[in-house]
Amino acid sequence: MRALLGARAHLPEPPPDLVVRTMRRLPPHPPALAVRRAARQRLRRRVLLAGIAVLVLGVTIPGVWHLLGGPAPELLFGNGSSGLSYLLLLLDLLARPVLHTISMVSPTVLGASILILAGSVYGWWQLVRRTPVYAPTEWSP
């Protein structure tokens, strides 16, 4: 290529270990196996996140219902002195001051605050997603 372009060509020299570095970055498994493993890992992650979401919602929804005047969910699992009923009672008692503090704020200020918080989180997430990650080649597997 340099001979075709003549002496005016200022093409940079490729690194001497380009092939070795490229081979080191490739997965050691065949592509079909790598795709199956990635799909299995995504499925595990989704199942784990769904399980966590179900647990959080299972505690949150009855707790909010109780804070708004419904029956106490901790009494469904005992008398509140031990085990799961004690944990639910603790969460209920910790959530009450937070709910009362939020309810003291006017709806306009609360709505504006939520919008500002949501916009800030979205902007932060966009910055995180678009930030390039550079790892030194020595860290490559």
* pLDDT recorded at residue 19: 84
* Residue given tokens 């002496």 in the structure block: 7
Phi and psi of 94, rounded to 5°? -75, -30
Per residue of the chain (141 residues), give pLDDT as tens. 555 555 555 667 878 888 888 888 887 888 888 889 989 999 999 999 999 999 888 878 877 777 777 777 777 777 778 888 888 888 778 878 887 887 888 889 888 999 999 999 999 999 988 887 776 666 555
Phi then psi dihedrals of residue 34, to 5 deg: -65, -40
Q: What pLDDT, on the 0 to 100 scale, is given for residue 140?
A: 56
Q: 111-129 burial, b if ≥16 CB within 10 A, otherwise e?
A: eeeeeeeeeeeeeeeeeee
CA distance 64 to 96: 10
CA distance linking residue 84 with residue 78, whole number of Å? 8
User: Given CA atoms 48, 50, 53, 58 in this order, what sign does their dihedral have?
Assistant: negative
DSSP state letter for 139 = G
Dump pLDDT digits (tens) for 38-47: 899 999 999 9
DSSP state of 28: S
AA identity, residue 40: R
